[in-house]
Amino acid sequence: MSGLADDQIVEVITNDRQFGPDQWKNLKIKLPGLRWTTKKRSLDEVALRARSRNSNSGTLYGRALLLSDFQEGLPELLEEKSDSLELISVALRPEDKKNAWVDSLAVRPSSDNTLLLDIWIAGGKQGELLSLSVEAEGQLLAKTSLPAPGDDQLVQTEITLSTASSIAGFVQIQDNSLSFDNRFYFSIQQEEQIRVLAVGQAHGNHLERVYQEPEFLFVRQDLNRLDFGLIPKQNLLILDQLYQIPDALRGALIEFYEAGGSLCIIPAKSIDLISYTQLLSSVSSFRMEEVRRDTLKIDGIQDKHPLFRGVFRSEISDFETPESRMFYPLKPKVNAALLFENESPFVLSARRVAVLASPLDSDLGSFEESPLIVPTFYNMGKQSIRLPDLYARMGNQPRIDLPYLLGQDQVFSLRGEVAEYIPQQQAYPNRTELVLSDELEQAGLYQISTSRDTLGVLAINYPVSESRQNWNEGQVEEQKLTLPSVLKDWTAEGQRKEFWKWAVALALLFLLLEMGIQKWIT
């Protein structure tokens, strides 16, 4: 923008801020301080704002300059033509168009009691070496290099981390294209125990095998000896093969669910269907029908279902298929996570309620001995409380559960390097839910804090959509205008208009002088 005169009156509108109208010499001092933002204005909104400010604003002679890289997904400009404003689009593109970025991370335990951090890198010039480092709390934990995978490709590497229970840091690559996505934040926190209560007599130890300490605190109680005071303190409550769901228990379960708890219902081989229906209709849209006795394989894994999110990285085709010799038909099928071979649901799961179609009894089937039982029930437990993930991305309003309660006048806040932010929060009997809204604009590490303590660290990253350089050429003028040429033409025209202003002013002055001389002579 160096082609603009310092005294030129300019107004600048960005995705999240507005500057001016003011002299260019003042604005150009402020603009270099702009930070990355995930907010996007529609082009129509920008054009409307420019037209409304054009009248009597002293801007560039009824013209507006629209500068963008015009990524795909940018809302299109529906009205480009206007009698009052000429809107000119100029596409700005990086000199190095092969952007590389850190795409995602995952962490897993290693056999030697350390942690392995899996790192996926995307884009870049295929084969070009990228320098990669991992840092936490000002210390370099690891450094390596790997070849860039190229367009629309991923390459994976792993880094060994120490056994420290909590690590908050970032992965960084050296890339000459866009810089905002070269740093990817992560936070490995010591997790709180997830509380699981099973109500009913044990039929094997399949649940005990899944819900083991220290990750889970598993308790089983018989219905006749159930301590109702335990229910509000749980994250997941499993009804394990009860014949009937008594009214008192149903009322406690509804209250537990409405307070944010999760339910799993495993039917017995003989049930009071009315009591089951009454509970299901109170907490979900699920329906259970009369028992059918038929031997069916359980072979339909819906790997895209939220219950199995992140479990299967490739298509499941070769596994030992469990079966069931009786089942209660479940509806609706749209919420099925596992299917029988006849496409009837074996597991329904949605909105913190899961229902199985068959008992987990070795005399009636083999699911409890199948490897599938582990991810099915493990994820029910993990998803019963939204603990902070390894990282979150802006733009999708992630929700996080904290196993803490504060006083009436206290709130949780998120403290970053440059700003403090108070998220939306909702208190429940055994936890507090945080909702990260779009007001959170900067990627980084944020401490979860109260007025007295720091309880953990959240890692927030930018969405990956801006890293993929897919440009919409249809939004750009056909003549491929460049910024210097546009500014040169505008400056030249401004100088011509200034010349005519002076010419008219001098003509008026000479006319007044001539009239004065004639009057004096007369």
Number of separate helices (H) and strands (E) present in the chain: 7, 30
| Residue 136 bridge partners (DSSP) | 139, 169
Counting every residue written for the chain, the total comes to 522
Question: In the numeric block, which tokens belong to residue 458?
Answer: 């959240």
Residue type, 155: V
Task: Find all residues with CB under 8 Å of 505, minimum gap 6, and list them.
Answer: none
Pairing of strands 115-123, 100-109: antiparallel
Cα angle for residues 365, 367, 370 (degrees, 5° grid)? 130
Phi, psi for 291 (deg, rounded to 5)? -60, 145
Task: Find all residues with CB under 8 Å of 336, minimum gap 6, and list them.
Answer: 300, 302, 305, 330, 345, 346, 347, 348
pLDDT of residue 60: 45
Residue type, 480: K
Flag residues of the chain having pLDDT under 70.
Answer: 1-3, 53-63, 72-85, 94-97, 110-113, 163-165, 310, 312-319, 387-388, 396, 470-522
Topology agreement, domain 100-191 and domain 392-461: yes
Give the other-Cβ count within 10 Å of 52's Cβ.
11
Q: Where do the domains of the chain lie? A: 9-93+482-506, 100-191, 194-382, 392-461
Q: Greatest CA span in the chain, whole angstroms?
A: 128
Report helix, strand or coil for 346.
Answer: strand
Q: What is the dihedral of CA 178, 179, 180, 185, to 10 degrees?
A: 130
Question: In the numeric block, which tokens belong to residue 431?
Answer: 């936890």
Task: Find all residues with CB under 8 Å of 360, minimum gap 6, and list them.
Answer: 203, 204, 206, 240, 241, 266, 367, 368, 373
pLDDT of residue 490: 61
pLDDT tens for 270-284 read 999 999 999 999 999
Cα distance between the two ends of the chain: 57
Report helix, strand or coil for 203.
Answer: coil
Q: DSSP alpha helices (H): ranges in 273-363?
A: 273-283
Q: How far apart are CA 167 and CA 161, in angstroms?
A: 9
Q: How far apart are CA 142 and CA 127, in angstroms?
A: 22
* 266 in Cβ contact with 240 (< 8 Å): yes
Of the candidate CATH numbers 3.30.390.10, 1.10.10.10, 3.40.50.880, 3.40.640.10, the domain formed by 194-382 belongs to 3.40.50.880
Q: How far apart are CA 72 and CA 172, in angstroms?
A: 26
Q: How far apart are CA 338 and CA 302, in angstroms?
A: 6
Q: How far apart are CA 231 and CA 254, in angstroms?
A: 11
Phi, psi for 276 (deg, rounded to 5)? -65, -45
Which element (helix H / strand E) includes 472? none
Phi, psi for 456 (deg, rounded to 5)? 170, -175
pLDDT tens for 248-266 read 999 999 999 998 899 999 9
pLDDT of residue 479: 43
Instruction: Name the DSSP letter for residue 466.
Output: G
pLDDT of residue 273: 96
Q: Give the 3-state secondary structure of 290-315.
A: CCECCCEEEEEECCCCHHHCCCCCCC
Rounded to 10 deg, the angle between the 273-283 and 247-258 helix axes is 20
Assigned CATH class of 100-191: mainly beta
Assigned CATH class of 392-461: mainly beta
* 196 in Cβ contact with 235 (< 8 Å): yes
Q: Secondary structure of the chain: what % helix, strand, coil (to 5)?
A: 25, 35, 45
pTM above 0.75, yes or no: no
DSSP result, 491-522: HHHHHHHHHHHHHHHHHHHHHHHHHHHHHHH-
Question: In the numeric block, which tokens belong to residue 144?
Answer: 């390596």
